[in-house]
A = this chain, B = another copy of it.
Amino acid sequence: MTTAAAPVITPDQLRQHWQGHRTLTRRMIVAFPDDKLFAYSLGGMRPFSAFAMEMLGMAVPTLNGVVTGEWKMFESAAATSKDQLLTMWDEATSEIDRLWAKIPAARFQEIDTAFGQWKMPIHGLLMYVIDNEIHHRGQGYVYLRALGIEPPPFYER
């Protein structure tokens, strides 16, 4: 296939972009005191641990579907300590790299119905997973500030 233009972003650049965000989110998990991570929230929202477990529940299951075209039910991860959550986070980091390398280049423009529910192009689905992480992590910044804790800088990845 011949295209007239350089790509906006290459598959590996998008992987690095995501993993950069995941590095920052990991720093956020570390920044929370253990008890606050699992119990503190504002406005009746979920604690930051629940956001992180939702992110874990989306990341690898989404990539499995992207690579195989088979969509298993996804469910949030279930960690009960910060150490366990960080271990799961790091396992997902490796798994994302492993699965990402298997995405056929043409797959990003294909339309699929993720988890039998969300019909969209694969690039849109992957952006959604990344955006959802940024969205909830931003909420965690408010939690940390309200706790009097300086969050890690947004621009450091």
Copies of this chain in its oligomeric complex? 2
**Known contacts A43-B145, A141-B139, A145-B43: does B6 contact A8 (CB below 8 Å)?**
no
Expressed in whole angstroms, the Cα–Cα distance for A44 and B42 within the complex equals 14
A6 touching B108, Cβ below 8 Å: yes
Residues of B within 8 A of A1 (CB): 3-6
Interface size on A, residues (CB 8 A): 45
A8 smallest CB distance to B (angstroms): 4
Bitwise, A12-30 to B at CB < 8 A (1) or not (0) is 0110010001000000000
> Which of the residues B5, B135, B147 comes within 8 Å of A105, measured between beta carbons?
B5
Whether the pair B2, A2 counts as a contact (CB closer than 8 A) is: yes
Interface residues of chain A, those whose CB is within 8 Å of chain B, are: 1-11, 13-14, 17, 21, 42-45, 105-106, 108-109, 121, 123-124, 127-128, 131-132, 134-139, 141-147, 154-155
